[in-house]
Amino acid sequence: MTNRALRLLSRPALAAGLFLGLAAPLLPGIAVGQARAAAAAPAQVQVLRQRITKADELPRFSYPVQGSVEALVRDPQKFAAFSGAVQRDTQSVLDRYDIAEKSTHRQLLNTLAQAALLEERWDDALHLADEIRTLQEKPAERLLTGLQLRAIVAAARKVGNRRSPEFAAEVGRQLAAALEPLPFLVVRNDIQGAKASAEQIGEGLAMGSVRNVLQPVADRSGALSSDLAPGVISTRYVLEYVLPLKEVFAATYKAYLAAHKVDKPDIWAARDAALPPGRNFTPVKVVIWDSGVDTSLFPGRLVERDGQPAFIAFDLEARPSASPLRPIPPALLPRLDALQARSKGLSDLRSNIDSPEAAAVRTLLSTLTPEQYKTVIEELRLVGNYQHGTHVAGIAAAGNPYIRLANARIEFGHTLLPDPCPTPSLEARTTDNFARYADFIRGTGARVVNMSWGGNLRAYEVELEQCQIGKDLRERREIARRYFEAHLKALTQAMAALPEVLFVASAGNSGNDPSFQDAYPSGIVLPNLVVVGAVDQAGDETGFTSYGPTVALHANGYQVDSVVPGGRHIAFSGTSMAAPQVTNLAAKLLAVNPALKPAELIALMRQTADRSEDGRRVLIDPKKALAQAGAAL
């Protein structure tokens, strides 16, 4: 389980969408995504495009980079040549292939739209924004896609000088006018995220990723692949459009939110069903397969071995670890409380809460220098990993005095670049460890396992590129496929070998289809595995949640409050937070009726769920499910 190949599936406010349809792979690193190509000129000849049903089927490209990537971003002539090559190849992909997954199609169009704005090809930019909007599948994204872009284009045509105060003011007026008629409760969460991102962004945050993620790859290989090259275009877009307008964007979103102080309805309180203590219910053992659990926060509700909380752990080298939590370097321990306060500040920003912690982290990130970037972002990632498993455990255990938790810890990487880099021996140990986790799960007698993490094939390729492993794109692709398939096979076999255990997996936070992306565990199909997508407190699909044929249930994954190591409460978002809601329900059902098998549990939760009219959401109803299982609460 290497640095990039697996990742936790909470969604920190730092990574919230920034451009409402023109998302840039910027904040704590460069997101994995395919490249894009030339301007959106209408095709003169209709050609039969090849159907693409897997991301791995798309072509890869490589772009030479000599010297400084920052200079490439800032120098108009150098950037124009680089951007032109990326646009050409991206357009060739769109022309030649019929991409089954709309999310990947949108990513490609996003890069082209950013490039069109940078070249002031206003009509092309508008055309691309409209095309992206037609590919949106979620109501909020369909309404909001391209709003900033259209405001920019309208202001440029009316005012002309993009550097003038009049231009900025006109962008604000155009954006405010576009927002006003929108249904507030549909778009509120996305607007809160856009406001938070606008408040956080600064040149250091933008250029820090260039210096610390892209530059090392370019130094080692003299090129950037099509997985990383769009980051160059996104960064220049931030410098040219986002930073000059950040105050306008933040103020416009703030005013819009202030004018519509309406809370979304909370459907979950009425559906909640806590099990009362002292009943003749069966204790149910649940494994939290995650980044580690602070078991001191769950007294009396633990699986024990020899009088100690049961746990298994492996470190970043895939070797056995004696630490039940992600180790914090000694130098950082005195600052741990302050680092956790930063996590709370990020969460408060995402919720539009003007707390002291939010103010502090907003100032920190917006004034960050490129030199500070690596330290600050890696510390945020480290503390996020440290908190994640405990937060998940708190959600899984809520309202259930009969749950008994066991801790299966994975040590996820937190560095901007992989450390350690993949090697055959590391990947072999990682593969073997899946069977060791399965033995641990079997030994605890667990009935449910929560897995709020995931990986995908293309992430392996990016990690290999960052480590300069493989002489070219083709060899990296072959190595990545070999490692990925070994891990996928081992994980699938581990779960299949425990047919009496229900595995609950997060769908993912990339807004895509796990099957198309070759993702695991969310793309695996087994009778004892259920994959969970995220909705908000009103049951509306979150902008980040992944979707597709393997996603069988949906639960609250938006700003979910839970405990973190030490006892502080913080609200996090992500499918990481939705999956343990289903784990929570499954454990309660088993406490009431321990005879239920995994397939029966899944069927019961689906039968008692509410299906949305569009068929995209299957919202769990714990109260109904427990009543049908025979619980008299």
- Note whether residue 123 is domain-resident: yes
d(CA 431, CA 488): 9
- Note whether residue 103 is domain-resident: yes
Residue tagged 């090392």 (tokens):
216
Per the annotation, the verdict on 388 as an active-site residue is yes
Q: What is the pLDDT of residue 630?
A: 81
d(CA 631, CA 633): 6
Residue numbers in the chain where pLDDT is lower than 50: 1-4, 12-45
CA angle 316, 375, 70 (to 5 degrees): 110
Q: Calculate the CA dihedral of residues 560, 563, 565, 568 and round it to 10 degrees.
A: 100
Q: Strand 551-556 to strand 529-535: parallel, antiparallel, or no bridges (unpaired)? A: parallel
Q: Calculate the CA dihedral of residues 261, 359, 350, 576 and round it to 10 degrees.
A: -140
| Residue 263, token pair as written in the block | 């809370």
> What residue type is assigned to position 42 of the chain?
P
- Note whether residue 120 is domain-resident: yes
In 3D space, the residue among 217, 422, 402 whose CA is nearest the CA of residue 316 turns out to be 422
In 3D space, the residue among 29, 65, 47, 55 whose CA is nearest the CA of residue 107 turns out to be 55
- Note whether residue 42 is domain-resident: yes
For residue range 94-127, list pLDDT tens digits in order: 999 999 999 999 999 999 999 999 999 999 999 9
d(CA 290, CA 8): 8
For residue 442, report the phi and psi dihedrals to the nearest 5 degrees: -60, -40
Q: What is the pLDDT of residue 27?
A: 36
Give how far Cα 16 sits from Cα of 399, 475, 618, Å. Answer: 30, 34, 24
Q: Which domain holds residue 216?
A: 7-259
Length of the chain: 633
Q: What is the pLDDT of residue 35?
A: 28
d(CA 466, CA 177): 44
> Would you say the pTM of this structure is higher than 0.75?
yes
The residues near 364 (Cβ < 8 Å, ≥ 6 apart) are: 342, 376
d(CA 432, CA 496): 15
CB 503 within 8 A of CB 509: no
- Note whether residue 157 is domain-resident: yes
Among candidate residues 127, 388, 487, 554, the one labeled active-site is 388
- Note whether residue 495 is domain-resident: no
- Note whether residue 44 is domain-resident: yes
Percent of the chain at pLDDT > 90 equals 89
d(CA 19, CA 367): 20
Among candidate residues 124, 290, 518, 621, the one labeled active-site is 290
Burial 135-147 (b: 16+ CB within 10 A, else e): bbebbbbebbbbb
| Residue 502, token pair as written in the block | 């229900």
Per the annotation, the verdict on 127 as an active-site residue is no
d(CA 407, CA 286): 9
CB 57 within 8 A of CB 477: no
Give the H or E element holding residue 185.
helix 184-200
Q: What is the pLDDT of residue 388?
A: 98
The residues near 252 (Cβ < 8 Å, ≥ 6 apart) are: 172, 175, 176, 179
Per the annotation, the verdict on 291 as an active-site residue is no
d(CA 245, CA 96): 36
- Note whether residue 511 is domain-resident: no
Among candidate residues 103, 554, 576, 621, the one labeled active-site is 576
Give how far Cα 233 sits from Cα of 25, 93, 119, 237, Å. Answer: 10, 18, 11, 6
In 3D space, the residue among 248, 243, 259 whose CA is nearest the CA of residue 195 turns out to be 248
Q: How many domains does the chain have?
A: 1
